[in-house]
Chains A and B, each alone.
Chain A
């Protein structure tokens, strides 16, 4: 449970997690295994179509939750169920305590419910002198340890068998073996007595099906079946977002939820409870059955045109499973109660700004969660939006404001960058192009990768001389978008790109009014300045005179393509322009491979160049869905492409993320470079200058014999 006050404290906690060797090993093994399991689980299923169907059905339900609640209530009451609606977490807890009191209950068994974690129900029940036992194995373990879950599906994933054996030794007062199968049996036997003694069972609910008045429970262990059967009273605590019109909706989600959660086609048990069932120990042989629906901000969220999609979440936990940051720091640092990308968002809405303000910054924006989300939630974008909202509510940090002010004034920004080349003189290492002796403002923690110097001459200043001769009847008219890094730090990458494209009948232009794409501003939570630069950029291009807007920076490309139309969409004068602009945006590899169709004949035959590895930038492979074009280019240019492990996992740059969370950035970078090293490659190419900056600087500090370049540079070298 993350609840630090300052970013500094939060970073210290993350550092502790990074130093936890067991956690690191467990998380690494999990991340790798999950990837394979997920792919296997979805084999033969049209995943994208299923996700779209789930999202659409959920959206339909979200838009009429109050109505669905009423329908469900009537249906369930007819079948003998007591239905409650709690406005707040505290109210839900009160209702459940009252049910316990009214029915003279003393001992409670619980099956897993994230909603009960959200309301901190156990604390409240225990305050009333009730004995509560969690029966899900993982939940029982963490309850005994007095901690919160570190994963929504596997709550004790942060613990080793030895820690569990020690814990069980305490509980049974007998020495326990660390053999996992034996530990599971011990839990089976120890908990059986708890079910027998209990007079109240509390469960969650994965679905509340309106057409039948049933709740659905998706479980593996079978504990929820016992919890809902043996005690004479059953209370199901259920978020109102779990209301769904039809059984079909629930069956559809069941096709995806277990697959995405644990790689199972279906869980061992799915239980459907409709009405108050037979119960030998209940009044008149019937169960005393209550369903408590929890609002806690959900109904208000359902009214928000953008954030309402958060309510689509089916709590599979996949957004944590694929998150490179979760993999590093674990669930206790990646959420307050709810974990992972969705946890960052839910923390803000359910537990408040204070609990969320540090967490929301710990997102590297790699998009892995968005791709894995079975409900199609645009998680990274919403996380940035919450970050911006928190800044608006709390006041913006001074450096962030300054950055915004500077960057939204292109001339000032560019003047500062050009001035920097004089300022960096004393710290510049002339022979390598890196800054030596980082200035104080960076601090020691930034020294895991060498930072580049600003180039002597920006690309925009060289363009008038570089510009290839005008092409008569060009095949394509292309406007170049350089982004700041290639304009001011790595102009050689742009030059290489121009050289690769030259001679293919392309008329190239470089509009001078262009500025930073604005993504760094989004990452800093400066949405207004981000919008300002978007407007400047859209206006800087004469859209009627270009077929494509080509950029060699994957991050710029995906930002221009996906964020601009949304950002400018509410401005009637700019909406259409932004849409057309975005449509014309294309990344370098796709343009060269798919549009120009360069082939083997365009390259020199060169042997003996050694193996070349490829890093797939987050914003290219997930942001734009481009995976084949760059790899095909490597092969067509005759390079000995050596695939390496986890090519599409983030390099740890994430723009300003690497400045804010250098400890995490360093770990991700090292993992990436280790994987490349294992491939035996002497050169690493990629499609994004940000990645180049991170990877090249890291390889330099590690003294790896690795040349890191933009793919365009490698191609330009081999061009005939």
Chain B
């Protein structure tokens, strides 16, 4: 399939405007390597999640103690893909999980997902999150690495509408539009990233076809 370069350009520009870090990858393996390197390079001490350096209340301090290593959650991959990523993680001493996310609600380092659609006009990712594990991986992680197959890019939300309706039609369904990292401007209108969800969003545009 011929990739519409203009649409791709718009997506990269719009996602960049909301502080998403966009890169292009040729293969899924390349995306795995990116993820492992990113997690390994994360500065936080394996025990710490964001905010541990601050003055927290006792119960909140306790919550970080549940975390014992750097963790990547990659639910939704097939066996072969998961094994491929696991090899990379083992090599770097990272923990890789694809279920039991509820045991890691204190925080995980990286959530890895492959997205279902992209909307160029706003730099938006569409992720079918009906699996609770997928949902949680994108919510409790500090960095979300999202792979977007370029063939799934649509120009506008209207263009994506038939496919969106298809997802929603297969109930129950939990469908997420994700545009940039979690953000707030609730204190003095100053923008701050990572209030409840990811502090960073990395988008890997995968030249899938």
Q: Chain A interface (Cβ within 8 Å of chain B)? A: 26, 29-30, 33, 78-80, 135-138, 141, 154-157, 159-161, 164, 171-177, 180-193, 195-196, 209, 211-214, 220-223, 225-226, 228-230, 247-248, 251, 254-255, 262, 264-281, 286-287
Q: Given the interface contacts A164-B187, A192-B60, does A274 sit within 8 Å of B177 by beta carbon?
A: no
Assess the A220–B184 pair: CB atoms within 8 A. yes
A78 to B102, CA, bound (A): 28
Contacts A191-B196, A225-B135 given: A79-B171 contact, CB under 8 Å?
A: yes
Q: Is the CB of B54 within 8 A of A229?
A: no
11 A-B pairs with C-beta separation under 8 A: A137-B187, A141-B186, A155-B186, A185-B50, A193-B60, A193-B63, A221-B184, A225-B139, A247-B161, A269-B176, A277-B173
Kindly provide the distance from the CB of A250 to the nearest chain B CB, expressed in whole angstroms: 10
CB neighbours (8 Å) of B3 from chain A are none
Q: Determine which residue in B17, B157, B174 has the highest number of CB atoms from chain A within 10 A of its CB, and name it.
A: B174
B81 interface residue, CB < 8 Å from A?
A: no
Pair A156/B186 contact, Cβ less than 8 Å? yes
Q: How far is the CB of B41 from chain A (nearest CB, A)?
A: 21
User: 5 tightest A-B contacts by CB?
Assistant: A222-B197, A275-B172, A174-B55, A138-B186, A275-B171
Chain B: which residue is nearest A157 at the CB level?
A: B189
Q: How far is the CA of A297 from the CA of B7 in the complex (A)?
A: 46
Interface string of B169-199 (1 = CB under 8 A from A): 1011111111111111111111010111110
For the A-B complex with A180-B192, A183-B187, A268-B178 known, give 14 more contacts whose Cβ atoms are closer than 8 Å.
A157-B189, A174-B55, A189-B50, A190-B57, A191-B196, A192-B106, A225-B176, A228-B174, A251-B161, A272-B176, A274-B175, A278-B130, A278-B172, A279-B132
Known: A277-B130, A278-B130. A248 touches B158 (CB 8 A): yes
Please give, as numbers and ranges, the residues of chain A lying within 8 Å of B131 by CB-CB distance: 278
Number of B residues, CB within 8 Å of A: 62
Assess whether A154 is in contact with B168, with CB atoms less than 8 Å apart: no
Residues in chain B within 8 A of chain A (CB atoms): 14, 17-18, 49-52, 54-57, 59-60, 63, 102, 105-107, 121-124, 130-132, 135-136, 139-140, 157-158, 161, 164-165, 168-169, 171-190, 192, 194-198
Closest Cβ of chain B to A710, distance in Å, is 39
B183 and A135 form a contact (CB under 8 A): no
Q: With a CB–CB cut-off of 8 A, which chain B residues contact A164?
A: 187
- In the bound complex, residues from chain B placing their C-beta under 8 Å from that of A192 are 60, 63, 105-107, 196
- Contact between A222 and B196 (Cβ–Cβ < 8 Å)? yes
Beta-carbon contact of A186 and B51 below 8 Å? yes
> Is the Cβ of A223 less than 8 Å from the Cβ of B105?
no
- Known contacts A79-B171, A191-B196, A226 near B139 by CB under 8 Å: yes
Closest to A222 in B: B197
A109 CB, nearest partner CB in chain B, Å = 11
Contacts of A254 in B (CB 8 A): 157
- Give Cα A251–Cα B195 distance, bound, in whole angstroms: 25
Give A223 to B183 CA distance when docked, in angstroms. Answer: 10
| A177 contact set on B, CB distance < 8 A | 54
Residue in B102, B124, B136, B196 whose CB lies within 8 Å of A188: B196
Known: A33-B189, A221-B197, A255-B157. A189 touches B171 (CB 8 A): no
CB-contact partner of B174 in A78, A183, A230, A272, under 8 A: A272
Judging by beta carbons under 8 Å apart, are A271 and B196 in contact?
no
State whether A226 touches B60 (Cβ < 8 A).
Answer: no
Contact present for A223 and B196 (CB under 8 Å) = yes
